């Protein structure tokens, strides 16, 4: 059985090939009833547009975008890819995944070359590339279309499209939860400082302590990376203090899982001897025992909205899409409890 073609769709819907093409490309000049007829035919026949074929037929349009990332967290990357891919499938676009080194000295030239070589219509920039002003300026100078995914409490309104995530207020909520349980000695383990999410989450932690009248204790704050091993090593250092913390907030769930392993190796009973919280609601948080208190971040939805924003702007349908914000949600699980009374 042959795969249905655009001709099959046109015949089934009783319209011209050009009309089917306009519907597939989400062009505005199609009557609603005609669009509905074509979309129904596409669904009934199981027709899937071929982005590469469309690209070959048109020298003036590209039907593929790129996702550019540099993140050691495999779960974050997979969720982001799935979200972007779902939007691409919905709009009939292809997707090229491009891992890179965010510290590479000629990254801007590398990405411009990627866009030209692969004939990409635009890029989704994940952190930390999305937060590098010099890189963004060079991409704009070469007319590269992009949408950023950034950590920010509000729309930066800087003239560049983005999807922004309020890491600050989510981290504040986690810290507030620990404080309200009765903790005052709360450790904090950083992720990579060049990811804006790290300072945003730290500031949320520090602001919550300040608002509750608890001094920020620098001995309880350690640098690190978004990695299990850094959580393990950082927790061992904090637990070796003369006055160790009764709770530790890891900048992401991998760090928090490392903290949990360190607590276990020290013979501590979590959550009664040590409360632990993470961030992102990755599989680590659900698979750990006890399951980790965390902030649920809809990474897949964030990626999907970023891709829809980019594709909509590329298709010039109406006004430029508004920047969208996401607020991770506090999820309380078994890894946090009131501190043990001595």
Whether 125 and 74 map to the same domain: the answer is yes
| Confidence at residue 59, expressed as pLDDT on a 0 to 100 scale | 40
Contact (Cβ atoms closer than 8 angstroms) between residue 263 and residue 270: yes
Structural domains in the chain (count): 3
pTM of the model: 0.79
Residue 76's nearest CA partner among 298, 286, 255 is 298
The CATH number of the domain where 314 resides is what?
3.40.50.2300
Whether 256 and 321 map to the same domain: the answer is no
| Confidence at residue 194, expressed as pLDDT on a 0 to 100 scale | 86
Whether 69 and 154 map to the same domain: the answer is yes
Does some domain include residue 199?
yes
For 37, the domain range is: 6-49
| Confidence at residue 77, expressed as pLDDT on a 0 to 100 scale | 87
| Confidence at residue 60, expressed as pLDDT on a 0 to 100 scale | 46
Does some domain include residue 260?
yes
Does some domain include residue 54?
no
Does some domain include residue 161?
yes
Does some domain include residue 58?
no
Tens place of pLDDT per residue across the chain (342 aa):
567 887 888 888 888 877 777 677 665 556 778 888 888 888 888 887 665 444 434 444 568 999 999 876 778 889 999 999 999 998 889 999 999 988 888 999 999 999 998 889 999 999 999 999 999 999 999 999 999 999 999 999 888 999 999 999 999 999 999 999 999 999 999 998 888 999 999 999 999 999 999 999 999 999 999 999 999 999 999 999 999 999 999 999 999 999 999 999 999 999 999 999 999 998 888 888 999 999 999 999 999 999 999 999 888 766 778 899 999 999 999 999 999 886
State the greatest distance between any 2 C-alpha atoms of the chain, in Å, as a whole number. Answer: 80
Residues with Cβ within 8 Å of residue 186, at least 6 apart in sequence: 175, 178, 179, 205, 209, 214, 220, 245, 246, 247, 248, 249
Strand-pairing partners, residue 68, are 98, 125
């Amino acid at each position: 059985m042959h795969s249905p073609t655009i001709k099959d769709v046109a015949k089934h819907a009783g319209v011209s090939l050009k009309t089917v093409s306009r519907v597939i490309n989400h062009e505005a000049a199609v009557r609603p009833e005609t669009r509905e007829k074509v979309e129904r035919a596409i669904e009934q026949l199981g027709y899937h547009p071929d982005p590469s074929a469309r690209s070959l037929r048109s020298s003036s349009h590209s039907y593929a975008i790129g996702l550019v990332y540099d993140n050691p967290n495999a779960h974050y990357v997979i969720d982001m890819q799935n979200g972007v891919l779902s939007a691409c499938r919905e709009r009939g676009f292809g997707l090229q995944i491009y891992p890179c080194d965010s510290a590479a000295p000629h990254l801007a030239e590398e990405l411009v070359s990627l866009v030209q070589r692969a004939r990409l219509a635009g890029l989704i920039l994940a952190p930390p590339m999305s937060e590098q002003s010099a890189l963004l300026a060079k991409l704009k100078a070469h007319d590269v279309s992009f949408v950023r995914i950034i950590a920010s409490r509000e729309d930066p309104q800087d003239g560049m499209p983005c999807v922004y995530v309020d890491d600050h207020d989510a981290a504040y909520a986690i810290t507030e939860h620990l404080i309200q349980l009765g903790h005052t000695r709360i450790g904090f383990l950083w992720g990579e400082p060049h990811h804006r999410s790290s300072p945003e989450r730290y500031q949320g932690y520090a602001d919550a302590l300040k608002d509750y009248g608890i001094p920020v204790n620098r001995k309880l704050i350690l640098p690190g990376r978004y990695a299990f091993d850094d959580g393990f090593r950082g927790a061992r250092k904090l637990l070796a203090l003369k006055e160790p913390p009764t709770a530790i907030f890891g900048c992401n769930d991998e760090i928090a899982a490392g903290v949990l392993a360190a607590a276990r190796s020290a013979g501590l009973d979590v959550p009664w001897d040590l409360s632990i919280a993470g961030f992102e609601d990755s599989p680590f948080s659900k698979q750990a025992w006890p399951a980790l208190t965390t902030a649920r971040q809809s990474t897949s939805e964030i990626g999907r909205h970023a891709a829809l924003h980019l594709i909509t702007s590329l298709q010039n349908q109406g006004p430029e899409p508004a920047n969208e914000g996401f607020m991770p949600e506090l999820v309380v699980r078994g890894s946090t409890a009131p501190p043990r009374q001595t």
